[in-house]
Structure 1
Amino acid sequence: MMADKEKDRYSLRVMTLFGLVVSVIIGIFALNIYYFKEVEKSLVEQTYQDLKRENDEALTYFQGMIRERFEVLEAFSAYGNLPEGSEIEVLGGQGIMYYGIRESQGLKGENNISRLPSKGSNGQSGITLSVPVVREGQAKGAVCMKYTAEELGKYLNSTELSPYSASLVFTRSGELVATCPGYETYANIYDILKTMEFRDEQSLEQMKMTAESGGSGYASYYYKGSWELLYYQPAGVEDWMVASMVKTESYEGALYKIRKLSKVFLASSTAMVACTVLLIICIIYLRKKEAKRAQKDYLTGVYTRETARKLVEQRLKGGGKKRFYACMFLDIDDFKKINDTFGHHKGDMVLTQAGQILSACTRKEDVIVRFGGDEFCIWLYGLSGRKQPEAIAKRILNAFHTSGTIHASIGITLVGEQETEYDAILRRADQALYLAKGKGKNQFAFQL
């Protein structure tokens, strides 16, 4: 009975510890997932911010380049000599003459910037910067400078300016003004983006609507399985937009490393928790074993007097149908003579044998106690009445007699259903032992 209760307590401790460990492991997993999501979110935000910053730099560079070119043209317009018969014209490198679409602006004394149609300059589109030549208060002609989309793209995507992204300029309708390496054959940015995989079907259409209204925004897409980002905003020149595209390789690389470190962390932390649990279980087991050893008499293997008192008193006061119904007090006959004649070593052997006999003749629910010296006490547990303790007493005495070396006397008292006084029960059992010894060796007697 007591052993079962101790076993149940031990099992409960182990299950509680196991539940705690599982909770800790789940907590570690949840914390790791939360950390990974937060880092991923932070990396995404940083990628968006970096792309916008590079786009801002490209925009500043583009606006500065246009401004500088106008300054050059203005200087030439102010101090250069105007030949007879000049018109608002642009002569391309291939000897083809282009006419601007804003001749009236030039003649009115205004700087202007125009797009070249793609039919000119080897089929490439581009831009023309023109500054009027004013003499005596009248526009006499215009000084022009022309760039193809490819040339503008080379300026805009110099390594010093944009080491991580590619930039381009397009109109609100998508026509490319400045292209970037790898896309020189395209005339429209949306033709480029149609080759990409948009997992959100609204992304491309949303970009078109935003660009047409002169707004700014991001577009997210995949190219050959790799995630890429595009940011666009008004260029501040005509109705043009400046866009920057970036591959998120560094982001994905960082995320891969974090994921790998997370797996290592999870594995190591789980291993540490498991080792800690095993260590705790071993400690609990050893402490339980040590505590159990302290409860038992080292020589006979039965309960000590102090431990037995706690166990029996607790059960007597607990009530219930099953309870201690009898108490036996046992004394080894002529034990002092054995000690004096054969020595303490022989006496210890007799006590050990007595403990073995008592354990063999009783059940595991019963409590066997070495009360002191050669005295033992047996508390019988269950529902039985007077006949059962008599049978057990006869079995014990017969076992002692069969051993051929030792004999014992037993005093028995029954425990009342409402009785809870431990010492009173022991006194009656001791009185019964006195009666048994009066009857001779290897006898038992009752004291009600």
Structure 2
Amino acid sequence: MINHRDGNHYLPKIMGMFGLVVSIIAGILAMNLYYFREVEKSLVDQTYRDIKLENDKILSYLQNLTESKLEWLELFASFSDPPDGSGNESWWELVAENEKETSRLGVADDKGTIYYGNHETADISGRAYYQKVLKGEKNVSRLLPGGFEGQDGIVLAVPIIRDSKVKGAACLEYSAAEIEKYLDDSPLSRYGANFIFTQEGQIMVSSSGIDQKDTVFELLKDMEFRDGQSLEQMREVVKSGQAGFLIYYENNKKRLLLFQPTGIEDWMTASLVEAERYESMLNRIRGLTLGFITSSTLMLVCAILLILGILHYRKKEEKRAQKDYLTGVYTRETARKLVSQGLKGVGNKRFYACMFLDIDDFKKINDTFGHHKGDLVLVEVGQILNACTRQEDVIVRFGGDEFCIWLFGMRGRKQPEAIAARILNAFNISGNIHASIGITLVGENENDYDAILKRADEALYQAKRKGKNQYAVKR
């Protein structure tokens, strides 16, 4: 039984413990208050870094698209007959092959009449891009409303020059809808939008999150600007062709807009996000806040155990699906495990063909242009092989400039040959790569990984001996 002396003895301890608890709670609240203030300051900076990264991806996509298409057009123009209206020119078959839903190839004469693969003609003599071609300039047009089969589109054009005179033009019309798909597929499209506009402000192509306005200035004219920023200030920056970062408010909600020149005519790319809806940043805030609030020993131990569990899980996943750091395809070690397991399947649940690929004259590329160019070629090879195969197929960087492709689930000799032809065609279109491919089929009960690989390697050397830039099949 506790008497008054005992009570007086325990009261300071109880008050001390109560004071300690109150102090801890007050400290946590103060730390969170300070933390949220710092987060508010850093939110814009972090968002800027993320949308800059996303905008750079769009910029790279546009530059790669136009550069690769213009390079291909220049090659086409170098061997094409100038149009004479006879219908017997050397390029008709190739023009017809390039009649697609998203693009089409045309050849114009020096009077401005353009010929398409379906033998239709049109007068482009008044087009600005054609006038530049007559001056010997390759160029990319502005957005042409209804210019591509009734759709908005752009035109990439290069001159056909003979005896130092422009005799015509090779023109590739490209649907703006294809670029819109890329803009809509951006991770930012959930929290904002991307679009392309000119230095005059005309919106050329936009993702679905953009209001249907003719110009970017019309889009922003009713917005609220703070901290010394203004729409007129943006006009001046855009007019000068410089990059810029803008913060504005719509219905008191913060918006962030980043824009930068593309280096293609007077195009500029832009990305905007709603700061309050920027999910990845908010998730970081929630995670850090949870760390401040749950600072007890028990929660710390749980967090450590969770981190260790995650690290253990990630380590197992990395061992199971290790990728080549440069090309993004599987390494030899990982591929051996995956394919060896896949060869144990039956019917359509196993690998049915192996392709061994070697880049022709890759050493010459390294010696002539340097290893950086060689690395870029290897990256492009990985991208093309991924594009020409399915997710269930296994692509392997076997070593150096050698790649291996294991085709899964189908049957028949013609299918791997068609895939090999598609790969070679994609390499040829790229203008940078030629390769030789060896193909071997996998028997229904065959599961010797090394033996199959050896046959494919022998087929590769058959292709090399036949003259390179082709494929060979060894049964």
Output the TM-score relative to the length of structure 1: 0.47
Larger Rg: 1
Higher relative contact order, chain-length normalized (CA < 8 Å, sep 6+): 1
